[in-house]
Structure formats: C-alpha cells, structure tokens
Amino acid sequence: MFDGKFRRSVDATTAPVGRWLVRMGFSADVLTGSGLVFACATAWAIAVGLHLWAIVLLTLTGFHDLFDGAVAKASHRASQRGSFFDSVSDRVADAIILGGVAYYLTAHHHGQLVLLPFAILTTTFMISYQRSKAESLGLVAKGGLMERAERMILLGVGLLATPIFIPVLWIMLVLTAMTAAGRFWRVWQVAARPAPSTTSTLRARQHSRRLRRGLSRASRH
C-alpha cells in the first residue's frame, strides 16, 4: 500500500534525510547490509521472548530499509547492483525474522502452530515473485493491503503483548494471502489485453528508417 499509493510522499519525506546521511559518509550498501544485521538481531530477540527489544530492533531494521534508497538517490549512485542487493537482502531479512517467530512458537506452544510463520513467508515470497515476474514482462504489479512495510508494522503490533501475538500472525497471513491473490488477479487482467502488434511496430520502424535515408540523400544533393 505504501509502495503503491504513497511512494511519492515517502520519497519526498526521506530525501532530506538521505542527503544528510550522504554528508555523514553513509552509502546505500552500508545501510542495506547493516539493516540485515539488525534483522538478525530482531529475529534473536523474538526467538528468546524479548519482544519489547524486538520492537526497537524491528524499527531500526525498518529505518535502514526506508533510507537506503534515499541515500542511493542522493549520492547519485543508484545502480542495478545496489537494487539487486537490496531486494535479496529484504527477502533474507524476512526469512530470518519469521524464522525467529517460528523458533519462539516452537519453544512456547505445542502442535503445528510453528507452520504459521512459514505460511506467511510463503505468501510473502509469492507477492515478491509476482512483482518480479510481472515487471520482467513489462507489466506493473505494485500495491496491495500487505506489502513489506505493512507486514513489519503489523508484526510490531503483535509484539506489543503476548496474548495478541498469535492472532496478529493469523491476521497477517490472511491479509498477505489476500494481497497475493489480488496482485495475481490484477496482473492476470492486464496480461489478458492484446499486446501491441509486432508487425505494425516493425513497419513503423522501417518507415522511420526510410525517412532518415531520404533526408540524408537530400542533404547530400
């Protein structure tokens, strides 16, 4: 939701902070890497039951993820390598944090409840994959109720009190599944529209080339 509807507002807010961080000597890769370190610390705090500390660490993880893009833009060093590193780090951080949740559930609950965070992780990865595949096909696949920022916020809410932790995880699973289903449906609808005719595009290019050749010949005469 934040990425789809409020991206411009978020970018406008983070840009001044990004410029300040650049002046302080930070780079986008450093923020991405340190964010992954904080994600590991968050997972540990969740696993051992230090949930208030986990909220603090999760917030710091989110700040690193929020500002690494702003730093890349402010330093004029945005690159495919940095984008790839950031995307992979986000997926690894998601897996580590939900692994910490799974460890906590294993230690404090019985039955198959440990499968809940893995179900959330599976639907989370499906959302990311749908966006990547759609963009590789030239389609847009952003937005939805439960993107990464919303998932981290909701997890933080669940960590506030033990009685609501598991219900919040179930809510997260339902909303994440709805987001995956909604994103699939939107891309399915767009992909069903007829693609631009390859023949007409080729004819237009050939016509443009003939025009350029004619102008070149005329200039010689």
pLDDT tens for 73-84 read 887 777 788 888
CATH, residue 213: 1.20.120.1760
3 labelled catalytic: no
Rounded Cα distance, 106 and 51, in Å: 16
The mean pLDDT value of the chain amounts to 82
Share of the chain above pLDDT 90, in %: 41
Average pLDDT in the 112-131 region? 91
Q: Is the pLDDT of residue 57 over 90?
A: yes
Rounded Cα distance, 22 and 64, in Å: 13
Rounded Cα distance, 44 and 199, in Å: 57
Closest C-alpha to 128, from 163, 176, 165: 176
Rounded Cα distance, 144 and 147, in Å: 6
Question: Per the residue annotation, which of 65, 68, 90, 94 is the catalytic one?
Answer: 90
The pTM score is 0.79
Q: Is the pLDDT of residue 47 over 70?
A: yes
Judge residue 85's burial from the number of C-beta atoms within 10 Å of its C-beta, 0-12 exposed, 13-18 middle, 19 or more buried.
middle
Higher pLDDT, 14 or 55: 55
The pLDDT of residue 164:
95
pLDDT-derived band of residue 212, with 50, 70 and 90 as boundaries? low
Average pLDDT in the 76-98 region? 87
What spatial distance separates the first Cα and last Cα of the chain, rounded to whole Å? 60
Average pLDDT in the 35-41 region? 95
Rounded Cα distance, 51 and 72, in Å: 32
Residue 150 corresponds to which tokens in the numbers above?
């919303």
Residue with tokens 């390859």: 198
The pLDDT of residue 77:
74
pLDDT tens for 186-205 read 888 888 776 554 444 455 55
Domain that holds residue 62: 2-220
- Domain tally, the chain: 1
Question: Computed over its alpha carbons, how large is the radius of gyration of the chain?
Answer: 23
Average pLDDT in the 23-52 region? 91
Host H or E run for residue 114: none
Q: Is the dihedral of CA 71, 75, 76, 77 positive or negative?
A: negative
- The residues, any chain, with a CB within 8 Å of residue 146's CB and separated by 6 or more, are 1, 127, 154, 172, 175, 176, 178, 179
